[in-house]
Amino acid sequence: MDVELYDKITEAVTAVRQRSKNEPMVGVVLGSGLGAFADRVDNCVKIPYRDIPHFPESGVAGHAGELLIGDIDGVPVAVMAGRVHYYEGYHMQQVTFGVRVLAGLGAKKLLITNAAGAVNPTFAPGDFMVIVDHLNLTGDNPLRGGNDQKLGPRFPDMSTAYGADCRRALHEASRKVGVTLREGVYAGLAGPSYETPAEIRMLQIIGADAVGMSTVAEVIAANHSGMQVAGLSVMTNRAAGLSDQPLSHEEVKEVGERVRGVLCDLLAATVACLA
Ligand code: HPA
C-alpha cells in the first residue's frame, strides 16, 4: 500500500467537505449507465471527480464520473456515479480510492452494484442477485504492500464481507419495490475479455453464481475500512457457453438499460432500509 494513501484520502475528503457539509451514512457505488440515479438524490450536490484531488476518472463511456452528495428519504448519502476498473489499467489502489473516500467522509455502510454474467443456469438476464460472498479471482489485492493501521488492520477478516443486516436490507427493499431477488456468490475477474465456456464451467464448480469485472477490490477495501457492505448484481447476460449467442457489450448495456428504472427504485429503497 502506498504509504501516502492516508494523506491523499484526507485531501480528497477535505475537498469534498468544502463543497458539502453533509455527512453520509451510506455510500453508494453505481455500475455503468446509472447516472439517472442522481434524480433520486435530494439536495444533490454534484462534484466532478476531476475536482477531487487524487480521484481517478474513468475513460469508459457511460460512466459520468461524479460524486453526488445529498439525501435519499432523509438518509444522508454519498453516491459514486461512475467508477474505474482494473481492466482499464488502474492499480487496485486507484480502483478502491473512491470507497476509501466514502469511508473517510463517515459512511459506515456501502451499497455496491454491478453488471454481471449469470453463471448459475437457473438465473436469467434481468435478474437481480444479492451478493452473499465473493471469489476474488483478479490475481491481485488492493491491500498488497505496506499496511497503514490508520486505514485498517493488516489482515482484515472477510468472513462476513457482505453482512447479514445489509442482505436483509436488500430483501426488505425488494419487497417494498416488488421485485424478486436471487442470492449467490459473485466471482470477480480482471477482464476485459469475457470468459471462455471452460472458465465458466470452472466457476460453476468452484461455487460462483455470477461473474463480473468489478466489486471485489472495492469490497475488500470497504471491509478493511470497517464498512458493512450490501452488494447487488444485475444479470445482464447468460455467461459464456450458457446460451447459443456470443457475448457482446451491446447486450450487457441493453439489459442494463431495460432494468434501470427498477434498479434505481430498489437502490433508493435499500438506502432507506440500511439506515
Ligand atoms: N462476464 C464478465 N463480466 C460481465 C459479464 C460477463 O458475462 N456480463 C457483465 N459483466
pLDDT of residue 185: 98
pLDDT of residue 186: 98
Query: Please, which residues bridge with residue 228 across strands?
Result: 109
Instruction: Give the residue, by CA position, lying nearest to ligand 1 atom 9.
Output: 116
Write phi, then psi, for 68 (nearest 5 degrees): -105, 125
Query: What is the C-alpha separation between 8 and 15, in angstroms, rounded?
Result: 11
Asked whether 117 lines ligand 1 (CB < 6 A), one says yes
Asked whether 138 lines ligand 1 (CB < 6 A), one says no
Instruction: Give the residue, by CA position, lying nearest to ligand 1 atom 2.
Output: 212
Cell numbers representing residue 249 in the block: 457489450
124 CA from centroid of ligand 1 (Å): 13
DSSP state of 26: E
Mutate to test the pocket of ligand 1, among 86, 236, 259 (most ligand atoms within 8 A of CB): 236
Cell numbers representing residue 143 in the block: 491491500
41 CA from centroid of ligand 1 (Å): 28
Which numbered atom of ligand 1 lies nearest the CA of 240? 7
241 backbone φψ class: left, alpha, beta (φ>0; ψ -120 to 50): left
109 CA from centroid of ligand 1 (Å): 25
Asked whether 77 lines ligand 1 (CB < 6 A), one says no
Biggest alpha carbon–alpha carbon distance for the chain? 52
pLDDT of residue 60: 59
Instruction: Give the residue, by CA position, lying nearest to ligand 1 atom 6.
Output: 117
pLDDT of residue 61: 56
Asked whether 194 lines ligand 1 (CB < 6 A), one says yes
Q: Whole-number mean pLDDT of the chain? A: 93
Domain topology for 5-274: Rossmann fold (3.40.50)
Active-site residues, by number, are 32, 63, 85, 87-88, 115, 213-214, 237, 249
Query: What is the C-alpha separation between 238 and 122, in angstroms, rounded?
Result: 10
Which numbered atom of ligand 1 lies nearest the CA of 117? 7
Low-confidence ranges of the chain (pLDDT < 50): 62
Which numbered atom of ligand 1 lies nearest the CA of 237? 8
Tell which residue, 248, 7, 235, 255, has the closest CA to residue 119: 235
Asked whether 203 lines ligand 1 (CB < 6 A), one says no
Q: Characterize the bridge pairing of strands 75-81 and 66-72.
A: antiparallel
Contact 210, 119 (CB under 8 A): yes
Write phi, then psi, for 58 (nearest 5 degrees): -85, 145
144 CA from centroid of ligand 1 (Å): 25
pLDDT of residue 226: 97
Asked whether 211 lines ligand 1 (CB < 6 A), one says yes
Show me where the domains of the chain are located: 5-274
Query: What is the C-alpha separation between 8 and 154, in angstroms, rounded?
Result: 19
pLDDT of residue 2: 64
